[in-house]
Amino acid sequence: MATTPADGSERANWTFLSNHAHVLVALAGNPELRLRDIAVLVGITERTAQLIVADLERQGYLTRTRIGRRNRYDLHLDGPLRHPLEAHHTVADLVRLIGPTAD
């Protein structure tokens, strides 16, 4: 989620990671999150969360399983990151770097 710079200046909000990465990390922390909850965590609309999950599923980064009225998302962390500059790393590397930590 974008934040105000530490110096308090008004600059365009941006982050180092894409919303796709944020959705993956959120699901790594809780694979049964609702789209509404993903949207709130990432700071996007529910529709955008739905489109991102569909992208990730289509590209093989996750599998969606319907359980009653809910979904469970199983991540496939062995896939490479997509940009040529980071393709030597896997999704697992990304999740380990910025993902949820045990308290």
The predicted-structure confidence for 35-87, as pLDDT tens digits, reads as follows: 999 999 999 999 999 999 999 999 999 999 999 999 999 999 999 999 999 99
Q: Which residues contact 75 (CB under 8 A, 6 or more apart)?
A: 24, 27, 28, 31, 61, 62, 91, 95
Q: Name the helix (H) or strand (E) containing 63.
A: strand 62-67
Going along the chain from its start, the domains and CATH numbers come out as 19-98 (1.10.10.10)
Q: With cut-offs at 50, 70 and 90, classify the pLDDT of residue 103.
A: very low
**pTM listed for this prediction:** 0.83
